[in-house]
Amino acid sequence: MGVRFKGWGIAVPDRVVTNEELSKTLDTSDDWIAERTGIRERRIGGSARTLGALAGKRAMDDAFVEPSDIDFLVLATTTPDRIAPATAPMVANDLGLTCPAMDVNAACSGFMYAIRTAQGLLETGNKRILVIGSEHLSRWVDWSDRNMAVLLADGAGATVLEYDPNDTDVLSFCLGADGSAADLLTCEHGGYFEMDGKEVFRRAVRVVVDSAEKALEIAGISADDLSLVIPHQANIRIIQAATQRLGIEMERAVVVLDRYGNTSSASIPLAFDDARQNGRIKPGEYALMTGFGAGMTWASAIVRWS
C-alpha cells in the first residue's frame, strides 16, 4: 500500500526582480550573486494564501479532482499571512474545501515534511490529500541587507496525493531535525531573516548527503539508479557539492533557482514542475527529493514515478 502523486500545480508572482535591479539599491552585483548563488532573478509578490490557493487549484485541476474529493489540506509555510489563524484554513476556503486544514512549518524542508505527514494521514483512512508549499519570504526580508535580500523570494507549489492499496510512488523517507543549530537561520517576530550563511552551507551539504544516503538505503537502490535529483533550491554550490559527494552528475539535478531564487517550502515543487514541463519525469524512473533549512531540519525521499 502507499501513496500516488495525482497532480501538480505551481504559482509565482508576475513581478520579476533581477540581480541588476537589486544592484541599484544594494552594494552587490549580478556577477557576485550569480557566481556565489546561481540566482539571476526571482519573483516577488502575493502572499502565502494567494499563491498557495492558486497552486492548489492548479494541482486539483491537474489531478481532475473536485473540492469534495479532498480529505485533508496540509500547507507547508515558513511565512504564514498571520500568526493565527493558520494559512491552510483560509486557502481551504478559497478552494471550496471543507476538510481539515493545517499548516506545517519545517522551513525549507516543509514540503517534504508535509508529504511525510500526508503519507501518514493516507495510511490511516484518508483517500486524497492536497499538499501545498507556499511562501511569502519577501515580506520578512530587510531589503537593505544584501546578505538575505539577494537570496529569498516568493512562490508556491502543490500536489494531490492519493491512497493506493497496491503500490506506492514514495519508496522511502529520511527526515531529521537538529534544534541545537536553531540560531543559524532565524526570523524573530516582527523582524527579518538573518543567517550564518557559511555554517548553514556547510551543514546543508552534510545533511543532504547523509539523509539521501539513508533514503537510498531504505529504498534498496543506489545513487546510480537515480534519474533525477530534485533538491531544495538555496544555492547552486550546495547542489553541486551534495551531488558530487553522492557521485551523481549535475546533469541529473533539477535547477530552477536561477529564475526563482530560494522559495523555501515552494522550491521542491517548483523544481518538480520544471522537470515535468521539460519531459524529464519518466514513468518507472527513480528520483531523490531532498530539502534542508532552518531548524535545522532536513528531509530526503526516494520516489518512483507511476
Q: Which residues bind ligand UT7 (CB under 6 A)?
A: 28, 32-33, 36-37, 108, 146-147, 150, 185, 197-198, 200-201, 204, 234-235, 238, 262, 293
Residue 136 is a catalytic residue:
no
DSSP 8-state class, residue 189: T
Determine the residue with CB nearest ligand UT7: 197
Nearer to ligand UT7, 142 or 167 (CB): 142
Residue 93 is a catalytic residue:
no
CB of 110 to ligand UT7, least distance (A): 11
Cα(213)–Cα(231) distance, integer angstroms: 14
Nearer to ligand UT7, 159 or 263 (CB): 263
Point out the catalytic residue in the list 105, 108, 126, 235.
108
Sequence-distant (6+) residues with CB within 8 A of 285 are 227, 228, 304, 305
Nearer to ligand UT7, 198 or 224 (CB): 198
Whether 110 contacts 134, CB under 8 Å: no
Nearer to ligand UT7, 79 or 168 (CB): 79
DSSP 8-state class, residue 254: -
Residue 108 is a catalytic residue:
yes
Q: Which of 11, 12, 301, 13 shows the shortest CA–CA distance to 161?
A: 301
For 146: left if phi > 0, alpha if psi spans -120 to 50, otherwise beta; the answer is: alpha
CB of 115 to ligand UT7, least distance (A): 18
Whether 155 contacts 99, CB under 8 Å: no
**Helical (H) or strand (E) element with 132:** strand 128-136
**Helical (H) or strand (E) element with 94:** helix 87-95
Sequence-distant (6+) residues with CB within 8 A of 109 are 175, 232, 265, 291, 292, 293, 295, 297, 298, 299
Point out the catalytic residue in the list 19, 126, 235, 262.
262
Nearer to ligand UT7, 30 or 69 (CB): 30
DSSP per-residue letters across 69-81: G--EEEEE-SS-S
CB of 167 to ligand UT7, least distance (A): 33
Whether 160 contacts 128, CB under 8 Å: yes
Nearer to ligand UT7, 12 or 63 (CB): 12
CB of 38 to ligand UT7, least distance (A): 9
CB of 278 to ligand UT7, least distance (A): 23
* Catalytic residue annotation: 108, 232, 262
